Structure 1
Amino acid sequence: MEKLERLNNKEIKEIIDKLKENKKYKEFKEMLFDDFEEHKIVYKVSDDEIIALAYKNDTIPFKMKEYYDWQQITYLMEEDAGFPQ
């Protein structure tokens, strides 16, 4: 997948407002919750920006690896594995 360009605040607001109107916003929020709960994925940017980027690029947040916060993900994985003690 090619690198996704960041959106400006106006673009984010427009997309989020559109998603709230067509009732898809909750679906994307649930995807983010599942990404965290099931896969320990933490994103570097706000939830709304991840949702807007995913919607604009016709993908799902989980596939947007360039926006993963790998350091936080590593901490969570180590915590789950019992490190450090």
Structure 2
Amino acid sequence: MERLDKKEINNIIDKLKRDGLYEKFVEMINDDFENHHIVYKLDSDEMIALAYKNNTIPFKMQEYYDWHEINLLIEEDLD
């Protein structure tokens, strides 16, 4: 999946906000972090726009996981 430019991200985010889907994606990303310790390399708006454009959900986009941060979170939980 390719990275999106700023204009394309803003267009997708504006469309999602108009359609009422933006909050759903934000909740998904928060749930990924809180329940699954998933941290993404991209900022949340870019992650949401990329997931929407590729007709998927952030959780399935493992190539954008920040594995170093995820491992740190898991180690914290084990302590």
TM interval, shorter chain, is over 0.9
In structure 2, C-alpha distance between the alignment counterparts of 1:15 and 1:28, rounded to whole Å = 12
Taking structure 1 as the reference length, the TM-score comes to: 0.92
In structure 2, C-alpha distance between the alignment counterparts of 1:8 and 1:64, rounded to whole Å = 18
Q: Which residue of 2 aligns with 1:45?
A: 42
How is 1:5-84 mapped onto 2 (pairs within 5 angstroms)?
5-82=2-79
The offset of 1:15, in angstroms, is 0.1
4+ residue runs of structure 1 moved beyond 3 angstroms? none
In structure 1, C-alpha distance between the alignment counterparts of 2:50 and 2:38, rounded to whole Å = 16
In structure 2, C-alpha distance between the alignment counterparts of 1:66 and 1:6, rounded to whole Å = 12
Q: Where do 5+ consecutive residues of structure 1 fail to align? A: none
The offset of 1:14, in angstroms, is 0.2
Percent identity, aligned pairs only, is 63
Taking structure 2 as the reference length, the TM-score comes to: 0.99
User: What is the count of residue pairs matched by the alignment?
Assistant: 79
Higher helix share: 2
